[in-house]
Amino acid sequence: MKKIDAIPTPITLDWVRKVSIQSLMQLNQEQLASLQLQAEDELFRAQLTKDWVDGAVRFKLWEAKEKHN
């Protein structure tokens, strides 16, 4: 397995997006667990943002429907 050049400290999801799965496989369990928590947090915040946007879209659709009634 090819050794990865430089692992940043702290390891970020930005870094993960730029490396191969082989590079990830060289990380230890603690590093992977940290990345997993970061990914879960990012996913939660993305879903929350999507929910807000979905709510705004639904409101606009309801508002437009009310104007036509």
Extents of the domains making up the chain: 13-68
pTM of the model as a whole: 0.74
Give 44-65 pLDDT, tens digit per residue: 999 999 999 999 999 999 999 9
pLDDT digits (tens, 9 = 90+) for 11-40: 999 999 999 999 999 999 999 999 999 999
Burial profile 29-60: b = 16 or more Cβ within 10 angstroms, e = fewer:
eeeeeebeebeeeeeeeeeeeeeeeeeeeeee
